[in-house]
Chain A
């Protein structure tokens, strides 16, 4: 019983947002969203106008595309770069291996705040502030410690004989990586990919620092937070805009929950 009530209580705020985003502005303003359940089938009380408005006029449509343009490379790049490094840390012997890996582990929890000012200065000098390349690389750099940590743990759990025999047969580390390690790691790669994708998709701070508020390349989170600033009480606008920003993560969550949970469980070490 307590569990049902808690689950319901957890769900109500989101339900309120969804319902309100589908009501006409005057209704949202004049009555609580729960009142629709008195006449849920009165279709005149439901509308998609709020979504049309935020997507077309408030730039949420553009921001939606921006979020993909930012999140896809900012997911693929760190996963690839981290996989290479993790493979070396797991299955290649080289001087400094242990010390370098410990450094990576140390950076798992460093607050990003420690990095903003020096990086932003260099970005300003190089003209990377506000650019897509700048934000892709920043998310890659920030995502790497966790990505390397996760992949190295996974590669480390693969049977060593496999690589030994491949090397005896004359395979290079490169082909061992592409032919053996990567194909055997699809579950880990999926967990990591989903984790990183949602991380970037939901990020506000990194975008705020490196892209800036009014940028044409602003992702959904940035756009939504600036709408809160300018439309503080226009709940029909804000609820629709918020739901637009949540749609992709919610779909990913329900479709790929298993991988998402695995990524989160592994992420218990990340800050």
Chain B
């Protein structure tokens, strides 16, 4: 470590200025603006928040965000964990993982188009062009309007797209942790007569639990801000609205900057615990360095 006051400011100034302009100042300004009317001229206190919590569109968005939060997080972490363990035992591990991980590389807009096509609907009797309804017809059922049938089918259909994109991420991170478990530990348990199921729940999972927590946290942060998938596939119609899309509408469609800011602040408040946890984790890391 070198004492270098002058040098250090030179090195950090561009980054600090940019972070100040794009993140620090706007975060404070948005909190402030959320207390003002649509054109940010008149102070209205908590009016925007009260309005939001009594508007049915916003309540739908809140409900859907909770639905996303629970299902998306459970499914990505659960599937990712299962795949991390299962791919470890097969010979073509690399190829299988690459296919499942691939959606992480493409845009959510691209994924939205891919899945809109999977969900394409043709009335019963007509040849289906979407994979999902072809499966329905082949199994002797009626085709479904996946993106229209509310409230559960279409929201689930959208969540599936998110899960399709992010499971690969969970799998890759969890797989790295799983491979780090000492093999002797697992072998010893097996020799002692533990079933594979017991080995997983009693040994593997407790050993990698901090990684599971990191992945789950990442999923929670991601899902709170879910936007692109909904914007492209339904734009929030038929009861599929989410908060981030609602904020976009308040901003550009209704030009209500007070309410748009209030939605952003609600998202921010939901993420503050993660932010504090990050800082604490980092401090601990530094203390042990």
A residues engaging B (CB < 8 A)? 2-4, 6-8, 10-14, 16-17, 20, 28-34, 81-82, 84-85, 87-89, 91-95, 97-98, 100, 102-119, 137-138, 140-142, 144-145, 148, 156, 160, 163-164, 167, 172-174, 177, 198, 201-205, 208-209, 220-221, 224-225, 228, 235, 238-239, 241-242, 245-246, 249-250, 252-254, 257, 260-261, 264-265, 268-271
Stretch at the interface among B67-75, B196-204, B226-234: B226-234
Q: Does B146 contact A (CB under 8 A)?
A: no
Whether B102 is near chain A, meaning CB under 8 Å from some CB there, is yes
For the complex, is B95 an interface residue (Cβ under 8 Å from A)?
yes
| A92 contacts B2, C-beta separation under 8 Å | yes
Interface size bracket, B side: 35 or more
In the assembled complex, the CB of A81 is this many whole angstroms from the nearest CB of chain B, namely 5
B225 touches A114 (CB 8 A): no
Task: Identify the closest chain B residue to A156 (Cβ).
Answer: B289
Contacts of A109 in B (CB 8 A): 221, 271, 274-275, 278
Q: Is B222 an interface residue (CB 8 A)?
A: yes
Q: Which of A92, A115, A250, A268 lies in contact with B214, CB distance below 8 A?
A: A268
Is B164 within 8 A of A118, CB to CB? no
**A264 touching B169, Cβ below 8 Å:** yes
Contact of B114 among A13, A257, A270 (CB under 8 A): A13
Task: List 9 contacting pairs A-B, 8 Å CB cutoff, sorted by A.
Answer: A3-B90, A20-B117, A92-B8, A100-B12, A141-B23, A160-B1, A167-B2, A173-B8, A225-B112
Q: With A2-B86, A13-B114, A172-B7 known to touch, is A105 a contact of B164 (CB < 8 Å)?
A: no
Asked if B23 and A142 sit within 8 Å, CB to CB, the answer is: yes
State the main secondary structure of chain A at its contact with B. helix
The answer to whether A31 and B99 touch across the interface, beta carbons within 8 angstroms, is no
Min CB distance A75 to B, Å, is 15
Cα separation A164 to B1 with both chains bound (whole Å): 7
CB-CB under 8 A from B9, the residues of chain A are 94
B interface secondary structure, majority? helix
**Known interface pairs A17-B117, A88-B12, A271-B271; A3-B96 also in contact (CB < 8 Å):** yes
The proximity string for B residues 269-287 relative to A, scoring 1 for CB distances below 8 Å and 0 otherwise, is: 0010011001100110010
Stretch at the interface among B13-21, B149-157, B183-191: B13-21
What residues of chain A lie closer than 8 Å to B83, measured between beta carbons? Answer: 3, 6
Contact call B18/A111, Cβ cutoff below 8 A: no
- A88 adjacent to B279 (CB under 8 Å): no
Can you name 4 extra interface pairs (CB under 8 A) apart from A10-B168, A164-B2? A4-B92, A6-B83, A85-B15, A118-B26
Residue of B nearest to A33 (CB): B129
CA distance A233 to B18 in the complex (A): 42
Q: CA separation between A261 and B176, bound complex, in Å? A: 10
Interface centre among A137, A142, A221, A242 (most CB of B within 10 A): A242
Chain B nearest CB, measured from A117 CB (Å): 6
Mask: chain B, 117-141; 1 = CB below 8 Å from A; 0 = not: 1101000000111110010000000
- CB-nearest residue of chain A to B167: A10
Q: Within B250-285, which residues are at the interface with A (CB < 8 Å)?
A: 251, 257, 260-261, 263-265, 267-268, 271, 274-275, 278-279, 282-283
**When chains A and B are docked, how far (Å) is the Cα of A11 from the Cα of B131?**
12
Please determine whether B251 and A84 come into contact, CB atoms closer than 8 angstroms. Answer: no
